Amino acid sequence: MLAAQKLVINKTRQPLAARRCDFAKTCDETNKVDLSKSADAPGLVDLRPTKNRVSPAVSSSETAGQAVVFRIEGFPEQRSLVRHETQMRNFHLLIESGMITILVAGSGLWPLAGQSVAADAPARKPNILVIVADDLGYAEVVCQGAQPIPTPRIHSIRDGGVCFTNGYVTCPVCSPTRAGLLTGRYQQRFGHEFNPGPAAQASDNFGLPLTEITLADRLKQLGYATGIVGKWHLGYKEEFRPGRRGFDEFFGFLGGAHSYVDSGADRNNLIYRDNHRVEEKSYLTDAFGREAVSFIDRHKQQPFFLYLAFNSVHAPLQAPDKYLNRFPEIKDEKRRTFAAMLSAMDDNIGAVLDKLQQEELDEQTLMFFISDNGGPTPQTTSGNDPLHGFKAQVWEGGIRVPYMVKWKGHLPAGKVYQQPVASLDILPTAVTAAGGTLAGDHPLDGVDLTAYLTGQNSKSPHDTLYWRFGPQWAIRKGDFKLLQPPRAAVQLFNLAEDFGEQHDLSAQKPELVKELEKAWKEWDSQLAPPRWKAQQARAARARQRAAR
């Protein structure tokens, strides 16, 4: 016989989470659950078996493959699946539409391996993990071919998921790309077109506009615990900080770059835990890995969204000996340090993946890995080969990046996907997976990639992709890309045949140039003017003022 003697519910965070459930050998004849220890619980609640469901007083042999279901009168409709361990056995608690369902491992109520669970028991919402690398070029983490610097843990995401050969970001620099990623909208629609520069030089109105709804906002409304670890770069002022943009927790820095070895190197850009400044003594990449693992540990019993935004491999180039010593064969000091930084990030991504596996959450986690823009090769050696161009340019080398997604059991493993996709697609894919809707006052530019990646939809996710970065702009429609590079005439390329952008076809296809230019201008007419000037322009004015 099986009975639930005591169940304490914590209603302080959505979705609901069970604290403890103990089972006795004999049935509790009162069929009641003690909710009195919860701060706002209604006390003892009468539990009655619902129609066509088993009674809690039957033996386990009579309930194989079924579930004990109770209705709680007056209990608000919630939905959550929470896994717990007791000294005796595992159990799952499902709270949905005013009912509690208790599924017990080994009792016949919760199936053992090879058995099936009741068909109407919904699965727990997937955790969402978005990992962003900084200034990591297309050549440094590849879908196919030789890997220049070993990154086995990043590549485990690729091997277990889908790798994009035509994965794009919406800007060739950091802050605008992040604004687009977290909103699912072209950031130029709301004026977030340029980097702000260092905190001391940033415009007073710099920050992701408060009119925009972030991925964290959306997932929090769906009952997720939300956290960011790492680089923010979407606003320095209090109203623009993570805690005001849907994130429950924040550990990291607000600016665009940071020392890896001296947490106080820039007094205007310190390390924060939520809104409190902290001193960090660890190598910063290691600290971010540590904090990411800790976040998962604290929230493993409920769906969570973790935005893990490393500043590696962004300058300054700094690494401790334990990582540098892995690459004695690299004689160029700059390249060796870059390799050490990338290896450190790979290790810490591995620590996060290990934690998910340890907690048996890897199959319940939808994870993305992406770089925020192409590599600034002359500055850091971060390579974009065989693409043309670098960070801060709308050539392919500035906007086509390492990009992959994994959701075990839902998306194919080891697949290379050739159609163009964008960082804009992360939000709609994640929200849809979480059971949310994409309707709202601000239409999204990204799409849910799931049907495309599973083969249910054989079309391309995007007919056209667009870029605007000051005087630079580009449009990709199908295989053809028209771009306006810095200080040059527009150029046309067939990326299917020439993804290195070496052979300008504009003179041979003038009608196609006109068609693409017209399409870009129509898109451009929908955009807002930049809310602050480009970083270079502000720096030039500052130098002029200093020279007076």
Catalytic positions, please?
174, 233
DSSP character string of 388-434: ---TTSSSHHHHB--EEEE-TTTS-SSEEE-S-EEGGGHHHHHHHHT
For residue 505, what are the contacts with CB-CB under 8 A and spacing of at least 6? 492, 493, 494, 512
Residue at 436: amino acid letter: G
What is the C-alpha to C-alpha distance for residues 81 and 497, in angstroms, rounded to an integer?
Answer: 49
Q: Which two tokens stand for residue 247?
A: 């994130």
Residue 343 sits at φ, ψ, to 5 deg, of -65, -35
Distances (CA, A) of 499 to 344, 480, 502: 31, 10, 8
3-class state of residue 228 by DSSP: strand
The two three-digit tokens of residue 347, written as one number? 């290790």
Cα angle 226, 98, 39 (rounded to 5 degrees) comes to 60
Residue whose C-alpha is closest to residue 82's, from 172, 135, 9: 9
Beta bridge partners of residue 469, listed in sequence order: 472
Determine the Cα–Cα distance for residues 193 and 170; give it in Å rounded to an integer: 10
The residue count for the chain: 548
- What element of type H or E holds 289? helix 284-298
- Torsion of Cα atoms, 130 then 133 then 139 then 140, to 10°: -110
The residue written with tokens 């200093």 in the block is: 546
Q: What angle do CA 532, 537, 541 make, to 5 degrees?
A: 110
- Judged on CB neighbours under 10 Å (0-12, 13-18, 19+), 429 is buried
Residue 340 belongs to what H/E stretch? helix 333-358
Rounded CA separation 290/178 (Å) = 23
Q: What is the DSSP letter of 62?
A: G
